[in-house]
Amino acid sequence: MRPANGLSQGGLDGNPDLLRDIIENSPAPTAVFEGDGLRCAVANAAMRALGANAGQTEDELLAGLFPSADPEAVRDVARTGQSRHLRVTGVDRRSWDMDVTPLRADGAGGGAGTGRAVMMALRPVVIDSPDSVDQQVREVSHRVKNTLQLVSSLLTLQTLSAKEPEMRRAFQEACARIGTVTQAHQRIHGATRGSLVDFGSYLRDTASEMEANFAAGGANRHVVVAVENAMLPVDSVIPLALIVNELVGNAIKYAYAPGGPGIVEISLLPLPEGGRRLVIGDHGRGLPPGFEVARADTLGMKVARAFAGQLKGKLRAESNDPGTRFIIDLPF
């Protein structure tokens, strides 16, 4: 860090208020030490949260928070005026990159004190303990979920501002797809067992929400789930969730007459020869004449076909007598 104007000549004595503002608004844990014993003069909120307090010497802080740090290396920065980069480990075995920067060299500043001032700034790095690794993964997952929710919120605002019904419907469908990804992401990071996820539990948990959407079209509408032995690879969960969302959505919109009763059935069952079969079925009006899965050009069918191919399966449709069944045989 290059000292701010006024600090290079007088250090803390030159412009302490400006320095405090700079340090306090830094997102990284940062503290400034000065004087013969390198006593803490400024510690920002992030550094205080770690346990640093004004008045501590650098020996006290390093011994209490970062026992692997070398106090002599910090003093060397104050003596020579040369920055140092240190790798330190805290009492919770969390590792940090510590940048120790001179705000002015020994004796250069004059004025009050000894003229020695250094700044420590920390950046988190590799986490050593398994518990801390889990905590970091949860934090990353939480940030991804927040990002997805932000995108969904932006699309919702765009939906409200859209004047044409078709445009509004397209934005609503995009929001629903992002919601599906968000739910599947939470399932991946909330219920993993090694590299597998209980997709059956995901289907059962989301069936009631699907049913609520389905029931909006009429009374006595239900979504029924039949699932068995559905511990699936992590990287298959989001594509499969999107396929289910699209095919159930199609049944909601097209299978039954407005206001009439109806059932959508979701099954994910093992095949005798290995792998699993996903079936989305209804007992409604059936497919229109000439319908071909491979040629259907609606966005929902394109999404379902694309993700079925990604999972090394092939989407097909057949009569359910009455109604329709969409089927994908999956190799996992």
DSSP code per residue over 129-144: SHHHHHHHHHHHHHHH
What span, in angstroms and rounded, lies between the C-alpha atoms of 103 and 31? 12
Q: Poorest-confidence range of 210-219, 304-313, 321-330?
A: 210-219
Where does the chain have alpha helices with state H?
A: 7-14, 16-24, 45-50, 58-65, 71-80, 130-161, 165-190, 199-215, 234-254, 299-310
CA distance linking residue 324 with residue 267, whole number of Å: 14
In the chain, the amino acid numbered 306 is A
Rounded CA separation 99/133 (Å):
23
Residue 109: its pLDDT value, please? Answer: 36
Which pLDDT band holds residue 261 (cuts at 50, 70, 90)? confident
Task: Read off the pLDDT band of 315 (50, 70, 90).
Answer: very high
**Span 227-247, average pLDDT:** 86
- Tell which residue, 237, 234, 300, 235, has the closest CA to residue 268: 237
Is 6 a residue whose pLDDT tops 50?
no
State the maximum Cα–Cα separation within the chain, in Å, rounded to a whole number.
Answer: 93
At residue 81, what are phi and psi to the nearest 5 degrees? 75, 15
Q: Is residue 296 a contact partner of residue 274, using CB atoms and an 8 Å limit? A: no
Q: Judge residue 192's burial from the number of C-beta atoms within 10 Å of its C-beta, 0-12 exposed, 13-18 middle, 19 or more buried.
A: middle
pLDDT at 331 over 70: yes
Lowest-confidence pick of 26-40, 104-118, 309-323: 104-118
Are 7-128 and 193-332 equal in CATH topology? no
Compute the distance between CA of residue 249 and CA of residue 245 in angstroms, rounded to an integer. Answer: 6
Q: Does the predicted model carry a pTM greater than 0.95? A: no
At residue 269, the pLDDT reads: 92
What are the pLDDT digits (tens) for 8-37?
334 444 566 776 777 777 777 888 888 877
CATH code reported for the domain at 7-128: 3.30.450.20
Tell me: pLDDT of 131 over 60.
Answer: no
More confident residue, 180 or 54: 54
Give mean pLDDT, residues 280-294. Answer: 90
Name the residue ranges covered by the structural domains of the chain: 7-128, 129-190, 193-332
DSSP bridge pairs for 88: 96
Mean pLDDT (whole number) for 176-193: 68
| Among the listed residues 36, 57, 53, 35, the one whose alpha carbon sits nearest the alpha carbon of residue 44 | 53
Q: Which CATH number fits domain 193-332: 3.30.565.10, 3.70.10.10, 3.40.640.10, 3.10.580.10?
A: 3.30.565.10
Residue 7 confidence (pLDDT) above 50: no
The highest-confidence range among 92-101, 245-254, 259-268, 309-318, by mean pLDDT, is: 309-318
